[in-house]
Structure formats: structure tokens, C-alpha cells
Structure 1
Amino acid sequence: MTQSHIAVLDDEPEIRRMLADALTEAGYRVTTFARATEFEAALNRGTPDVCLVDLGLPDRDGLAVVHRLALESGAAIIIISGRAQVQDRVTGLELGADDYIIKPFEPAEVVARVRARLRKGRGEAAPRAPQVARFNGWRAEFDRYVLVAADGTEVPFSHAEGEVLRMFLDSPKRLISRAQMQETLGGAAGESFDRAMDVRISRLRTKLGEDPKNPHLIKTIYGAGYIFLGEVSWT
């Protein structure tokens, strides 16, 4: 089995060393970076499976790094930060992060969160899942993180948006409750999770050309959850 690659972006040497030791011991290949410029240059040579990103960076706004990663890389993103306010967590998740860990933390918790993201995003011990879905004139290519319209126009989506889209495409015409979403996608239930889901679903609707006031594919069932009404086939 190929080693999963974990990138750590944090300007504190002790944090980088602690995470590198714990993740290496857990069997992962780890690369660490102290500055965003070094990290982004390395992305041009290859995309890690999971990126651990601190928000307090010396040369770049950490949230801007997270947003760019979510739009361009397809990597799973876990924020590690001393910012504990709910709004900080909500903002990070809205910009495309998959998880948020507050400093100080135990290395074992980070390893567990990384392992969970890999299981959900790629299925470490499971057969490779289908990567292309067709529905209502659209094609979703999960290996490239793009939606392809009938005229060939490509619309990129983030890793986090892709998790929500796959959840809908795996269960068309079935009600999916908030509790089911939390169980499927992981993360702590509560205001920040609900807000992040609302934002991701809103962005998916926009990318699919849905009328936000009257969407035809992703319908909100108020007080119950969501339902995807498209006809779906996987290849």
C-alpha cells in the first residue's frame, strides 16, 4: 500500500517536530514547512493527501492558504490553530477546511483526525470507489474535482464540497438528515457544522446553476434535512 503523504504548515518548530514524529510513527510520509511560500512551491511538485495548516503564519494569511488549497488542490485540509472562537472555526470551514483542531492538542488526536479524513476521503482499506457520476446533464469527476456541464464547461469544486456532493449522489431521492450528514462526513455536531454544511450546499447549488430560491436538484426539507432529486449513474 502506498504511504499517504501528510504536509504540515506551521511556523512553530516544536509543533512541526511533534506532529512529524507522531505521524511518521503512525506510518505516514510527512513533509513540514515553516512558511506558506515554501509550502505553496512544493504543491507545484505534487499534492499531499492531507494538509495540516496553521492560521498564524509569518508570510501569509493562513485562511487565504486554506481557501486556495480548497479551490485548487483536492487535498483534505485540517486547520490547526490557537484561535478558539466559534466564528474562527466557522470561517475556516466555510473557506473549505474539512476539520479544525484547536491548540494545544494531543498528537494522538491529530493522528486520529488524519486517519479519519483519509478513510472518508479515499477509503484506505476499501476498494476504490467509482470516480465519475452522471446526473441531469452534468458529469462529476471526483478524481479531478470538477463538474462538467453538457457543453463541456468545467466547474471546479473543493474537497469539502466534493464530500457533500458524493453523499447526495450516493443516496439520490432519499432524505438525508443533519444527523446523518454529521455521521457520514464527521466533525463535531453544532452550529459550526450546520453553518459549514449550509455554505457548501449553497456553493454546490450555485455551481450547478440552481435557482437559490427554488432549487430543483438539492431540495431543502425544512426541519428534516435535504434530498437530491437527480437521476444518477456511476462509472
Structure 2
Amino acid sequence: MSRPLITILDDEPEIRTMLADALEDAGFDTLSFGRARSFEAALAKHTPDVCLVDLSLPDSDGLALVHRLALEQGAIVIIISGRAEVQDRVTGLELGADDYIIKPFEPAEVVARIRARLRGSKQAKTPGDTAHFNGWTAHFDRYMLEDATGSETPFSHAEGEVLRLFLDAPKRLISRVQMQESLGGAASESFDRAMDVRISRLRTKLREDPKNPQLIKTIYGAGYIFLGDVSWS
């Protein structure tokens, strides 16, 4: 069985070495980059399972790169940054990152977070795993929503985790606590705001009326209910 590939993008050589050593000892393969340009060039040849991305890059806007990775690569994206402000964490999660780790950190924490995300990814992305609901088809193998006419709209890995949670439990209340436990986030204001943004984006992609959504209903003070009729193939 092939080892998961983790890419590390950080302009500090010491951090790249520390992460690569810890991850390879834990059973992962790694590729390390100090510049966004070389990292993006490598994506043409390699398909990482997880991308570790520093926001403070000398040749690129790290947040813009995170957004492109989330939508185009389908990889799990974990930000590693010295920016500790709540707004930085919220912005990173809103743009599609799956997790946010603040420097300084323990390598063992990064390994644990990656393993948790990969476990969730196996549930959310199974080859050939396709859900059908109310004229829509969700292709989790390629992160794509398809409407009844065949028109397609991409969704990010992070959005896919939330969508899968709804589709696995249609017409059942899903509380914030259940979302936090299922998606592996820490209970916090930034987690709640990130969930709000991901659900809002899913509603937009499903062409829901924001004032009166018919599929993803908010039960104020309790959580959410997905009201579609779901089948899997």
C-alpha cells in the first residue's frame, strides 16, 4: 500500500526539515518547498493527499494559494502560520482550508491532525461514491456537483465534508456539537463561523433561496436539517 503524500510549503528550512522528519517517521512520504512557484510546478506531476501551507510566503499570497488548492486540487489543506489572530484563522477556513495550526507547534500535533483529516477524507471521498438528491448529483470522487441538465459546479474538500455529513443523515437534526465531533474541529468562534460560511456556499451552489432554503434548513439554537431525499450509487 502506498504511503500518503504530504507536501510542505514553508520558507523556513528548519520548519520544513522538522516537519518532513516527523512525518516520514510517522509513515508518510513528503515533498518540501520554500517557494510557491516550485510548489505549484510540482503539482503537475504529483497529487498530494495533504498540503501544509504557510501563509507568509516570499513569492505568493498564501491565502489565495489556499483557496486555489481547496477548489482545484481536492487535497486536504492545512495552514501552518505564525498569524494567531482569530480573523486570520477564520479567513483561512472560509477560503477552504481544512485546519489551521499556529506556530510554534509540536510536530506530533501536526501528525495527529493529518491522521484525523485523512480518516475523515476516507469517509468523504470514496472512489465511485455518488449521491443523488432532488435533481442533484454529488460526485465525491472529483468534488463536483451536477444539476439535472448536466451542468457542473466544483466544491472544495472542506465543503464536501459538510455536504457528506448532511447526505449521510438526511431529515435528521445535526447539532453544532455533532459537526465539531465529526469534522474534527475545535469548538470555537472561528469553527462556528467557518461552518456558517461553508453551509452558505453550499446553499449558493445548490441555488437555494438564502431567505428560504429548501434543502439545508437552519434550526436556530439547535443546528441544521437536510431535507432532501438521498440515494447513493
> Hey, what does 2:86 align to over in structure 1?
86
Instruction: Specify the alignment match of 2:163 in structure 1.
Output: 165
Gaps of at least 5 residues in structure 1 are none
Residues 134-168 of structure 1: per-residue CA shift (max 9 Å, x gap): 00000000010000010000000000000000000
Q: Which of residues 212, 215, 229 in structure 1 aligns to 2:213?
A: 215
In structure 1, the residue matched to 2:74 is 74
Q: Tell me if 1:3 matches 2:3.
A: yes
Report the Cα distance in structure 1 between the residues aligned to 2:225 and 2:73, rounded to whole angstroms.
28
Letter in 2 for 1:115: R
**Structure 2 SS opposite 1:7:** strand
d(CA) in 2 for partners of 1:36 and 1:138? 36
SS at match of 1:45: coil
Number of corresponding residues: 232
Q: Compute the displacement of 1:226 (Å).
A: 0.2
User: How far did 1:45 drift?
Assistant: 1.8
Superposed displacement of residue 183, structure 1: 0.3
C-alpha separation in 2, matches of 1:231 and 1:46: 37
Residue matched to 1:41: 41
- Structure 2 unmatched runs, 5+: none
Match of 1:196 among 191, 194, 197: 194
Where does residue 120 of structure 1 map in the other structure? 120
Give, in whole Å, the separation in 2 of the partners of 1:128 and 1:62: 29
TM-score, length-normalised on structure 2? 0.97
What amino acid maps onto 1:184 in structure 2?
A: S
Residue 42 of structure 1: how far off its partner (Å): 1.1
Aligned amino acid, residue 98 of structure 2: D
CA contact (8 A) 1:145 1:162 kept: yes
Give, in whole Å, the separation in 1 of the partners of 2:128 and 2:180.
22
- Render the CA deviation track for 1:70-117: whole Å, top value 9, x for unaligned: 111110010000000000000000000000000000110000011111
Q: How does 1:55-70 map to 2 (within 5 A)?
A: 55-70=55-70
Contact 1:218–1:227 under 8 Å retained in 2? yes
The answer to whether the 8 Å contact 2:127/2:140 transfers is: no
- State the SS of the aligned residue for 1:176: strand
Aligned to 2:153: 155
Q: Distance in 2 between matches of 1:225 and 1:110?
A: 29
Quote the Cα distance in structure 2 between the aligned partners of 1:164 and 1:10.
Answer: 28
Q: Superposition RMSD on alpha carbons, in Å?
A: 1.2
* Residue identity in the other structure for 2:198: R
- The residue type paired with residue 166 of structure 1 is R
Runs of 4+ in 1 over 2 A off after TM superposition: 127-130
Equivalent residue for 1:181? 179
1:92-131 equivalent positions in 2, closer than 5 A:
92-122=92-122, 128=126, 131=129
Tell me how far apart the structure 2 counterparts of residues 129 and 59 of structure 1 sit (CA, whole Å).
Answer: 35
Aligned residue in 1 for 2:226: 228
Share of identical aligned residues, percent?
A: 76
| Inter-partner Cα distance in structure 1 for 2:205 and 2:85 | 30
Distance (whole Å) between structure 2 residues aligned to residue 206 and residue 40 of structure 1: 29
Aligned to 1:12: 12
- Displacement of 1:130: 6.1
Instruction: Judge conservation of contact 1:130–1:234 (CA < 8 Å) in 2.
Output: no
What corresponds to 1:206 in structure 2?
Answer: 204
Displacement of 1:129 after TM fit? 7.4
Instruction: Return the TM-score normalized by structure 1.
Output: 0.97
